[in-house]
């Protein structure tokens, strides 16, 4: 099937998959806490409810920014599954994140302001590891294209164990799970009220939620690259990683941003960079 | 969203119990958030006094429509045993319109959840009227 | 060739006119007309040489050489005198040494040197010409309004605007000279003139701080000049070529010592570690100086020479050391920029950081990195100059350079804020310029075969992570609309027309270049690289398309949605302040019934990204690397 079609399928299907994933997440969390938990379609009910609310806006610029955030997030996933240059895609992702932060700055309540600052620190923390992972992938397969990487036949995780481990470490940050959900927790956990999303409501919040689902599917796709040698085992590993993240989320408490920042950079250096150096030496 | 007006914390603890595995209000899709802009249901415990009149009004205004108010505990409903104090204005309905009253001192988690579920029904109705107003 | 001569000599005309006559209106009109002429000349030169490969010309050199030597003697004398007068003896000593080297060359070696083709222009020169002519010219126009305001605010400073504009135009002339010179002795002459211009402009206000900083600048630049002079002497003594094109073509055959010395000169001029402090100190100068010399033009001369030498540096240890210096500077300066709240210092550190990246690209010297480096030069020159000009205007209107005081600028001065936003976006956001170059540089770094590859990747990974932080922080501060919208904007109305036009054209260029950069690549940069390396570089057609689409989206989407919003009825609410809001936002009920206004300050992370710590680390590591570079060049 042409990559373009897969990209379009992503645009259409990711909200559904992402919502189901979110529902599954909540049920698993509840069961881990010996509760019953909501029905699996709950995220969709929430989304529709949000769309039907009468949005309260603090600053008129909020909605345009969040709309751009959503559009560029969709674009990131679309370009990824359509097979464009992954390095460029990561930068589109950071563009999307910047729009989100600008929206939070625009509303200017103390909570959303601090949430925005913490989100910036989070971006600064995971950016090196993301770039190092991309570099690692390129060094092993010689390409930045999703289909070429999968089709290269190389078992990436064998060559990039450090990079993979490092990426899973910062995946916690990107999925907005404890202990690194500094700016807004995708769960109910409060974080200085609601962190970066403190001043959004109704439709705006619905757009943020959808963008988060798109991002999750994109990230899972990215992890899949590492274990794509066998589709079934690969999918199973990806699912296992996600469940592992949910476990970590429920076990750990949120850390201070200084700790998260330090650990993010140290992990990027010792796991990611050393992997790159080893690859480089082996490749000579 | 849960707001403590001037409660003795008895009802607050019972509200907290609703979130625990024992009573688990998340079965109905309800989660606790601290932000009025994200909330549909405002759960108020404790009565309204001079100090928190403005705050309750402010929080209620910051919630997005359609919204419901649930007054939990007798103090929130009518002022309870403190109704005649000089600083207590009375129940929450002195400031904002209340949709569901959950009595008790302290209100039991089962009653609270019952009240919340009733509130969900009220929201559905409000949504319907809101849409009718929009369409009609 | 006449265009080239015209561009070098014509700016001297307004220079002397403005030196002699003091009237403000006269000054304004002469500047505007001259700048228009210079821009027309640059564009014409570009048009003439657009499709041709490197073109060389000979000029009867004998008198020009002698004339240059005499002027160099006068400059040296002036610096010696200034050094003695202000008790900065190091400057005098360096000037004597540097001139001594040139005199030694002139009297003992020069008669052996016969250079036919003194003047040339190729596509890289065309790019630099356009930058110098258009950006440099626009900054001079900006200076008309700015300097008027400056002296209005600082009535205690002597009004030496005649002198200021004289130096500005002489500087433009010298920059044209640098990019058209094939003869490196002539290049050195123009180089020293830019050093002198920088010294004079930084010390313009003659406050003790300005004098100290101007001497710091001239001492570091003279050190570079001395290295340049020694390179000339070495080449002349060993019979090596003194023409730039022959040096570049002599890859592999030429000794690395003069190349290392020339790179050293480039490193000092572009304020790399450990010589960054002069650029920081130069921020005391009036804003046109900061914009012209220290972000878009003079420091570009430093990176220009290293990029010219890139083919010779490829795959050599000297090149690797140069790239290492660039990388260290890139990371250190980016870190320090996080902790700066003074807007001009932030821009200065960001400039140093980006120049570091360009030098790193040039030091590695492969086709792909040079492609990235040239584009970095173009994008950085435009965007940074725009930002400096806007910050200068903001400083005059608000009375402060501190980012914390620029709260809600979008309400008081929306037009100016839009231009600052364009400038900031141009610096770090995809799909704008700098990001394209950074992306290309990263790709290029992955493919280099030497041990530099992992190091450079490390530098870019960590360095670019922090840039998001400090730029977004600033953008957020100015776009937050805390105050109710105003109908009229009195502050904005009082900005002079010259400043507006200059900034507006800059902003348009920043946006336009993102749309047309595929054309620039196809017609100017890729041919240049093919010419010099014999093979091409680029980033692939599909990526071009994606980028152009993204630029369009980034501009259109927010606008469309914003106007669409106006038709929707959303409820305007207050921000969440735990229920204690009073008036529309910001004011809340504090304890004891008082009303307090909320103030929010950004994170600056001083204990992690402090200036002292990272300057020290940068200076020490870079000094070691430079010593290694010089040492390794002897092998």
Cα angle vertex A65, ends A63, A68, to 5°? 110
pLDDT digits (tens, 9 = 90+) for C604-629: 887 778 788 888 888 888 888 888 88
Helix C123-130 vs helix C161-180: angle between axes, to the nearest 10 degrees?
170
What are residue A179's phi and psi, to 5 degrees? -85, 10
Would you call the peptide bond into B48 cis, given omega within 30 degrees of 0 as the criterion?
A: no
**B58:C573 CB<8 A:** no
pLDDT surpassing 70 at residue C594: yes
pLDDT digits (tens, 9 = 90+) for C230-258: 888 888 888 777 887 777 777 766 778 88
> What residues have CB less than 8 Å from C562, skipping those under 6 apart?
A60, A61, A64
DSSP string, C406-430: GTTHHHH-HHHHHHHHHHHHHHH-T
**Domain total for chain A?**
1
> What residues have CB less than 8 Å from C277, skipping those under 6 apart?
C216, C220, C615
**A131:C480 CB<8 A:** no
Count of CB atoms situated within 10 Å of the CB of C314: 22
- What's the first-to-final CA gap in chain B, in angstroms? 31
Alpha helix segments (H runs only) across C154-286:
161-180, 184-202, 208-237, 244-249, 256-269, 277-281
What are residue C402's phi and psi, to 5 degrees? -80, 135
pLDDT digits (tens, 9 = 90+) for C8-19: 888 888 888 888
- Measured in whole angstroms, the distance separating CA A219 from the mean position of its chain's CA atoms is 5
Alpha helix segments (H runs only) across C270-366:
277-281, 287-291, 298-308, 310-313, 317-338, 343-364
Count of CB atoms situated within 10 Å of the CB of C449: 11
Domain that includes residue B59, residue range: 2-135
| pLDDT given for residue C552 in this prediction | 77
**Domain total for chain B?**
1
> What residues pair up with B88 in beta bridges, in sequence order?
B49
| pLDDT given for residue A151 in this prediction | 80
**C472:A67 CB<8 A:** no
Residues C625, C324: contact at Cβ < 8 Å? yes
pLDDT digits (tens, 9 = 90+) for C347-383: 999 999 999 999 999 998 888 888 888 888 888 888 8
CA torsion angle for B85, B87, B88, B92 (degrees, to 10)? 180
What are residue A2's phi and psi, to 5 degrees? -60, 140
Which of B26, B36, B60, B63 should be substituted to probe chain A, the one whose Cβ sees the most A Cβ atoms within 10 Å? B26
Enter the ipTM. Answer: 0.90
Residues C147, C84: contact at Cβ < 8 Å? no
The mean pLDDT of chain C is 82
**C576:B61 CB<8 A:** no
State the nearest Cα–Cα gap between B50 and chain A, in angstroms. Answer: 25
DSSP state of B17: H
Per-residue tokens: B105: 């001192």
The pTM of this model reads 0.90
Among the partner-chain residues A33, A54, A188, the one whose CB lies closest to the CB of B64 is A54
Distances (CA, A) of B8 to B94, B105, B116: 19, 10, 21
pLDDT surpassing 70 at residue C431: no
Q: What's the average model confidence in pLDDT over C71-82?
A: 87
Instruction: Please compute, for residue B56, the number of CA atoms within 13 A of its CA located in the half-sphere on the CB side.
Output: 29
**Comparing C-alpha atoms, which of A39, A64, A47, A84 is closest to residue A214?**
A47
**A85:C543 CB<8 A:** yes
Q: Is B69 strand, coil or helix?
A: strand
> What residues have CB less than 8 Å from C406, skipping those under 6 apart?
C343, C394, C398, C474, C477, C478
With b for 16 or more beta-carbon neighbours within 10 A and e for fewer, the B22-57 pattern comes to ebbbbbebbbbbbbbbbbbbbbbbbbbbeebeebbe
Per-residue tokens: C442: 């990263």
Q: Is B136 on the interface with A (CB under 8 A)?
A: no
**B26:A46 CB<8 A:** no
Q: Which helix (H) or strand (E) holds B124?
A: helix B109-135
Q: Which residue of B has its CA nearest to C572?
A: B62
| pLDDT given for residue C484 in this prediction | 65
Tell me what percent of the residues of chain B surpass a pLDDT of 70. 98
Residues of chain B below pLDDT 70: 134-136
**B26:A200 CB<8 A:** no
The mean pLDDT of chain B is 87
Distances (CA, A) of B114 to B2, B110, B120: 16, 6, 10
Cα dihedral across residues A180, A184, A186, A188: positive or negative: positive
For residue B131, the chain A residues in CB contact (below 8 A) are 52
Give the integer Cα–Cα distance in Å for C132 and C296.
8
| pLDDT given for residue B45 in this prediction | 92
Q: Is B103 strand, coil or helix?
A: coil
**C577:A109 CB<8 A:** yes
Would you call the peptide bond into C195 cis, given omega within 30 degrees of 0 as the criterion?
A: no
pLDDT surpassing 60 at residue C156: yes
Give the integer Cα–Cα distance in Å for A101 and A211.
14
For residue B63, the chain A residues in CB contact (below 8 A) are 56
**CATH number, residue B123:** 3.40.50.12280
Q: Is C580 on the interface with B (CB under 8 A)?
A: yes
Q: What's the average model confidence in pLDDT over C89-109?
A: 83
Alpha helix segments (H runs only) across chain A:
3-32, 42-51, 62-82, 86-107, 110-141, 146-151, 156-159, 161-174, 202-226, 231-251, 257-267, 274-283
pLDDT level of residue C68 (50, 70, 90 thresholds):
confident
Q: Is C57 strand, coil or helix?
A: strand
What are residue A34's phi and psi, to 5 degrees? 60, 35
| pLDDT given for residue C536 in this prediction | 65
State the nearest Cα–Cα gap between C573 and chain B, in angstroms. Answer: 6
Residues A195, A118: contact at Cβ < 8 Å? yes
DSSP state of C312: H
Q: Which residue of A has its CA nearest to C559?
A: A64
| pLDDT given for residue A1 in this prediction | 65
Per-residue tokens: C40: 């027309």
CB pairs under 8 A between A and C: 173
Helix C414-428 vs helix C433-446: angle between axes, to the nearest 10 degrees?
10
**C468:A92 CB<8 A:** no
Tell me what percent of the residues of chain B surpass a pLDDT of 90. 26
Q: Which residue of A has its CA nearest to B1?
A: A193
Residues B11, B45: contact at Cβ < 8 Å? yes
> What residues have CB less than 8 Å from A277, skipping those under 6 apart?
C454
Per-residue tokens: C6: 């015209």
**A55:C465 CB<8 A:** no
Give the integer Cα–Cα distance in Å for B37 and B34.
9
For residue B37, the chain C residues in CB contact (below 8 A) are 573, 576
What are residue C587's phi and psi, to 5 degrees? -100, 130
What are residue A113's phi and psi, to 5 degrees? -65, -50
Per-residue tokens: C400: 């402060």
List chain A pLDDT tens, one digit each, 284 residues. Answer: 677 888 888 888 888 999 999 899 989 988 888 888 888 888 898 888 888 888 777 777 788 888 889 988 998 888 888 877 888 888 888 888 988 998 888 877 788 888 888 889 999 999 899 999 988 888 888 888 888 888 877 778 888 888 899 999 989 888 888 888 887 776 666 677 777 787 787 888 889 999 999 999 999 988 888 888 888 888 899 999 999 999 988 888 888 888 989 888 999 899 888 888 888 888 76
Q: Is C589 on the interface with B (CB under 8 A)?
A: yes
| pLDDT given for residue C486 in this prediction | 66
For residue A87, the chain C residues in CB contact (below 8 A) are 439, 442-443
pLDDT digits (tens, 9 = 90+) for C108-128: 877 777 777 778 888 888 888
pLDDT surpassing 90 at residue C420: no
**B54:C573 CB<8 A:** no
State the nearest Cα–Cα gap between B58 and chain C, in angstroms. Answer: 5
- Longest Cα–Cα distance of chain A, Å, equals 61
Which of A33, A56, A196 should be substituted to probe chain B, the one whose Cβ sees the most B Cβ atoms within 10 Å? A56
Count of CB atoms situated within 10 Å of the CB of C252: 10
Residues B43, B32: contact at Cβ < 8 Å? no
**B35:A54 CB<8 A:** no
Q: Which chains touch C (3 or more CB pairs under 8 A)?
A: A, B
| pLDDT given for residue A239 in this prediction | 92
| pLDDT given for residue B91 in this prediction | 86
Among the partner-chain residues C429, C465, C546, the one whose CB lies closest to the CB of A124 is C465
pLDDT digits (tens, 9 = 90+) for B106-128: 889 999 999 999 999 998 888 88
Q: What's the average model confidence in pLDDT over C551-567?
A: 71
Q: Is B29 on the interface with A (CB under 8 A)?
A: yes
Give the integer Cα–Cα distance in Å for C437 and C375.
6
**A65:C482 CB<8 A:** no
For residue B55, the chain C residues in CB contact (below 8 A) are 578-580
Among the partner-chain residues C576, C580, C589, the one whose CB lies closest to the CB of B36 is C576
For residue C327, the chain A residues in CB contact (below 8 A) are none
Residues C107, C38: contact at Cβ < 8 Å? no
Q: Is A283 exposed, middle or buried (0-12, 13-18, 19+ CB in 10 A)?
A: exposed
């Amino acid at each position: 099937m042409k990559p373009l079609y897969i990209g379009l399928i992503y645009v259409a299907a990711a909200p559904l998959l992402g919502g189901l994933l979110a529902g599954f997440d909540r049920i698993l969390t509840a069961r881990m806490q010996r509760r019953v938990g909501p029905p699996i379609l709950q995220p969709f009910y929430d989304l529709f409810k949000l769309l039907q609310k009468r949005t309260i806006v603090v600053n008129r610029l909020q909605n345009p920014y969040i709309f751009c955030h959503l559009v560029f997030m969709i674009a990131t996933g679309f370009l990824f599954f359509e097979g464009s240059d992954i390095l460029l895609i990561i930068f589109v992702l950071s563009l999307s994140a910047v729009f989100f932060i600008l929206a939070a700055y625009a509303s200017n309540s103390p909570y959303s302001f601090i949430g925005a600052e913490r989100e910036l620190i989070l971006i600064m923390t995971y950016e090196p590891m993301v770039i190092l992972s991309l570099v690692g992938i390129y060094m092993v397969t010689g390409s930045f294209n999703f289909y070429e990487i999968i089709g290269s036949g190389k078992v990436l995780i064998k060559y990039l164990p450090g990079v993979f481990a490092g990426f899973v470490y910062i995946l916690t940050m990107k999925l907005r799970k404890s202990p690194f959900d500094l700016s807004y927790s995708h769960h109910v956990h409060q974080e200085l009220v609601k962190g970066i999303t403190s001043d959004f409501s109704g439709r705006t919040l619905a757009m943020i939620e959808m963008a988060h689902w798109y991002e999750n599917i994109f990230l899972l796709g990215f992890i899949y690259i590492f274990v794509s040698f066998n589709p079934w085992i690969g999918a199973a590993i990806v699912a296992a990683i996600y469940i592992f993240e949910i476990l970590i989320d429920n076990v750990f408490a949120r850390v201070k941003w200084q700790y998260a920042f330090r650990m993010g950079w140290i992990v990027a250096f010792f796991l990611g960079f050393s992997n790159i150096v080893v690859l480089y030496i082996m490749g000579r | 969203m849960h707001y403590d007006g001037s409660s003795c914390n008895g009802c607050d603890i019972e509200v907290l119990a609703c979130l625990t595995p024992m009573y688990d209000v998340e079965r109905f899709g309800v989660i606790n958030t601290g932000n009025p802009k994200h909330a549909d249901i405002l759960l108020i415990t404790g009565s309204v006094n001079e100090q928190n009149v403005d705050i309750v009004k402010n929080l209620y205004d910051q919630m997005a429509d359609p919204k419901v108010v649930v007054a939990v505990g007798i103090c929130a409903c009518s002022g309870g045993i403190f109704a005649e104090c000089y600083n207590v204005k009375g129940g929450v309905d002195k400031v904002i319109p209340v949709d569901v009253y959950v009595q008790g001192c302290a209100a039991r988690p089962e009653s609270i959840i019952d009240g919340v579920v009733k509130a969900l029904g009220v929201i559905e109705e409000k949504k319907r009227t809101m849409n009718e107003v929009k369409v009609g | 060739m006449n265009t080239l001569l015209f561009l070098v000599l014509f700016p001297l005309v307004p220079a002397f006119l403005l030196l002699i006559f003091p009237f403000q209106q006269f000054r304004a009109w002469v500047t505007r007309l001259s700048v228009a002429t210079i821009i027309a000349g640059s564009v014409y030169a570009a048009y003439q040489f657009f499709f041709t490969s490197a073109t060389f010309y000979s000029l009867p050199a004998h008198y020009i050489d002698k004339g240059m030597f005499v002027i160099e003697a006068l400059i040296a004398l002036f610096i010696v005198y200034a050094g003695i007068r202000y008790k900065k003896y190091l400057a005098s000593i360096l000037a004597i040494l540097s001139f001594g080297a040139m005199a030694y060359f002139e009297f003992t070696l020069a008669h052996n040197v016969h250079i036919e083709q003194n003047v040339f222009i190729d596509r890289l020169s065309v790019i630099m010409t356009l930058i110098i002519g258009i950006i440099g010219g626009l900054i001079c126009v900006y200076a008309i309004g700015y300097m008027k305001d400056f002296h209005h605010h600082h009535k205690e400073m002597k009004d030496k605007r005649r002198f200021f504009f004289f130096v500005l135009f002489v500087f433009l002339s010298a920059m044209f000279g640098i990019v058209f010179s094939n003869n490196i002795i002539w290049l050195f002459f123009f180089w020293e003139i830019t050093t002198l211009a920088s010294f004079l402009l930084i010390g313009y206000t003659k406050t003790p701080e300005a004098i100290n900083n101007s001497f710091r600048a001239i001492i570091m630049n003279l050190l570079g000049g001395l290295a340049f002079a020694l390179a000339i002497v070495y080449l002349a003594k060993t019979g090596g070529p003194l023409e730039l094109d022959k040096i570049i073509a002599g890859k592999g055959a030429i000794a690395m010592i003069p190349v290392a010395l020339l790179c050293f000169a480039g490193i000092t001029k572009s304020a790399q570690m450990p010589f960054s402090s002069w650029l920081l100190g130069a921020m005391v100068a009036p804003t046109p100086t900061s914009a012209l010399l220290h972000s878009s033009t003079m420091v570009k001369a430093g990176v220009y020479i290293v990029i010219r030498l890139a083919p010779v540096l490829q795959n050599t240890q000297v090149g690797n050391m140069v790239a290492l210096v660039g990388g260290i500077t890139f990371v250190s300066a980016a870190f320090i920029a996080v902790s700066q709240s003074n807007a001009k210092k932030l821009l200065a550190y960001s400039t140093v950081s980006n120049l570091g990246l360009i030098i790193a690209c040039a030091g590695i010297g492969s086709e792909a990195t040079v492609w990235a480096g040239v584009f970095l030069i173009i994008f950085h020159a435009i965007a940074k100059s725009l930002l400096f000009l806007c910050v200068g205007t903001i400083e005059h209107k608000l009375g402060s350079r501190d980012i914390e005081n620029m709260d809600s600028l979008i309400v008081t001065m929306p037009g100016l804020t839009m231009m600052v936003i364009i400038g900031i976006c141009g610096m770090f956001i995809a799909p704008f310029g700098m990001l394209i170059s950074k992306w290309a540089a990263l790709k290029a770094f992955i493919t280099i075969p030497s041990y530099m590859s992992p190091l450079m990747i490390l530098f870019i990974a960590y360095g670019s992570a922090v840039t998001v932080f400090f730029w977004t922080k600033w953008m957020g501060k100015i776009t937050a609309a805390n105050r109710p919208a105003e109908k009229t904007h009195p502050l904005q109305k009082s900005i002079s027309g010259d400043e507006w036009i200059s900034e507006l054209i800059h902003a348009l260029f920043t946006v336009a270049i993102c749309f047309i950069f595929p054309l620039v690549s196809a017609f100017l940069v890729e041919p240049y690289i093919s010419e010099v390396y014999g093979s091409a570089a680029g980033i692939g057609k599909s990526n071009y398309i994606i980028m152009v689409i993204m630029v369009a989206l980034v501009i259109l989407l927010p606008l469309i949605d914003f106007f669409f919003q106006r038709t929707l009825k959303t409820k305007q609410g207050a921000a969440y302040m735990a229920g204690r809001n009073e008036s529309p936002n910001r004011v809340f009920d504090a304890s004891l019934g008082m009303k307090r206004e909320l103030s929010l300050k950004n994170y600056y992370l001083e204990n992690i990204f402090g200036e002292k710590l990272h300057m020290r680390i940068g200076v020490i590591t870079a000094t070691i690397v430079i010593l290694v570079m010089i040492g390794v060049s002897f092998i």
